[in-house]
Amino acid sequence: MIGFDDIPAAAFHSPALTTIKQPLHEMGKLAAEHLLKHIAGGPDTPFLEEVMVEPELIVRQSTMPETWR
């Protein structure tokens, strides 16, 4: 079983939940930067179609075999 967004409680479930951690601060910063560039460029400035950020896999007990502990 795997979760998404690495909420703090995920580490305290039994078994601890493996999760994908999103770089929320970086995502907000990129969104603000691109919005400000769009505003500065005027109404004809195209939006970027895709911006990618690298998530992080946090492996915990819900996907880790007993032999790895």
- For residue 4, give Cα distances in angstroms to 7, 37, 44: 8, 30, 36
Residue 28: its pLDDT value, please?
A: 95
- The residue among 66, 55, 65, 63 whose CA lies nearest residue 18 is 63
* Claim: this prediction has a pTM higher than 0.75: no
Q: Quick one: 17 exposed, middle or buried, by C-beta within 10 A (0-12, 13-18, 19+)?
A: buried
pLDDT of residue 66 exceeding 70, the answer is no
SS3 8: helix
Structure tokens at 40: 């500065």
For the chain, the structural domain boundaries read 2-63
Q: Give the chain's end-to-end CA distance (angstroms, integer).
A: 17
Q: What is the pLDDT of residues 5-39, one digit of tens each?
A: 888 887 788 888 899 999 999 999 999 998 898 88
